[in-house]
């Protein structure tokens, strides 16, 4: 069973890297419910914004289709970081459109520009979020102690 926030990156405990943490873990789980993990090709992360007990994060995801075509998604989260609702998040995944592979980096630059983020996005390998992608069967996710079991391919 994979626990949220404990994605298999080989990073020593206590060391934070971009793309790790409860908000990103919840995005990764929501994305895996919507997009077949083996089709994920690239993931870019914009720096999360923390303010007044909340954290916002945005990712741009590239999914491989047939041939040279790619589907682009944005995934965002808004997570409460303080108080009794700490750790609760709203996750949104939007399909932005299809694009030839050669213009995808321009699309990512456009997302960065619209977000107002001064830092360029950080690219992570999808295996940082999905070290052992499921090939069918069930997925178990531990949401702070409560285990939810889902059958792959079943709504």
Q: What is the pLDDT of residues 29-80, one digit of tens each?
A: 999 999 999 999 999 998 888 999 999 999 999 999 888 889 999 999 999 9
Average pLDDT over residues 9-17: 39
pTM for this predicted structure:
0.70
Query: Which of helix, strand or coil describes residue 62?
Result: strand
Structural domains counted in the chain: 1
pLDDT (tens digit per residue) in 85-129: 998 999 999 998 888 877 877 777 777 777 777 778 889 999 999
Q: Which residue has the higher pLDDT, 132 or 76?
A: 76
Q: Are 80 and 89 in contact, with CB atoms under 8 Å apart?
A: yes
Cβ proximity of 5 and 107 under 8 Å: no
Identify the domain containing residue 120 by its residue range.
2-6+14-151
Separation between Cα atoms, residue 148 and residue 30, nearest integer Å? 13
């Amino acid at each position: 069973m994979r626990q949220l926030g404990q994605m298999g990156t080989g990073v020593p405990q206590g060391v934070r890297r971009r793309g790790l943490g409860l908000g990103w873990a919840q995005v990764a789980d929501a994305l895996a419910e919507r997009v077949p993990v083996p089709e994920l090709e690239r993931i870019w992360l914009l720096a999360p914004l923390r303010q007044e007990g909340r954290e916002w994060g945005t990712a741009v995801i590239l999914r491989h289709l047939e041939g040279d075509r790619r589907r682009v998604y944005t995934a965002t989260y808004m997570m409460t970081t303080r108080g009794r609702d700490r750790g609760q998040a709203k996750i949104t995944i939007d399909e932005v459109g299809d694009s030839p592979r050669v213009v995808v980096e321009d699309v990512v630059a456009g997302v960065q520009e619209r977000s107002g983020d001064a830092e360029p996005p950080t690219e992570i390998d999808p295996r940082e979020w999905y070290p052992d992608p499921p090939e069918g069967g069930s997925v178990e996710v531990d949401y702070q102690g409560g285990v939810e079991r889902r059958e792959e391919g079943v709504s």
